Amino acid sequence: MQWTNNKFITTLGISIVLAFGMISVVFGVIYISSGEGIPVPLPALLMAFAIVFVLGSVFFEERGADRVGALVGGGIVAAIVSLVMMLVCGGVLYLLTNGRDTGIDKIISMLAVFMVVGMAAFSYLRTHR
């Protein structure tokens, strides 16, 4: 399969992927706040944290940070990635269990709004490298 060089299709695809990610994070917050518990098994969450911590620490150390700064940076990145992973998994579980109750109209409205937000963020990040 060959990826397209069409700028419009690529930007639309990125916007849609970002929108689905944001929707699942929102529903993940709802899932966790409803008292359902942690949607990811603790060993998997700890393993993801450890892998991202090591990779993040090496990344920051290679970029010139001192050892303490590299460890702190790796810890922050690992915590953020673990939280996002937990929220996305919770969002998927919430939509699988309560998707019909939520209503397709709300999900499509959220998709439209988050596509605009994702496009704005992508456009901003692309111009400010």
Which of 15-19, 42-46, 47-51, 99-103 is predicted least confidently? Answer: 99-103
Domain segments of the chain: what residues?
A: 27-127
Could you tell me the pTM of the whole model?
0.79
Rounded distance, CA 76 to CA 53, Å? Answer: 8
Q: What value does the mean pLDDT take over residues 30-43?
A: 89
| Per-residue pLDDT, 71 | 94
- Cα torsion 59, 60, 63, 65: sign: negative
Nearest-angstrom CA–CA distance, 26 and 89:
11
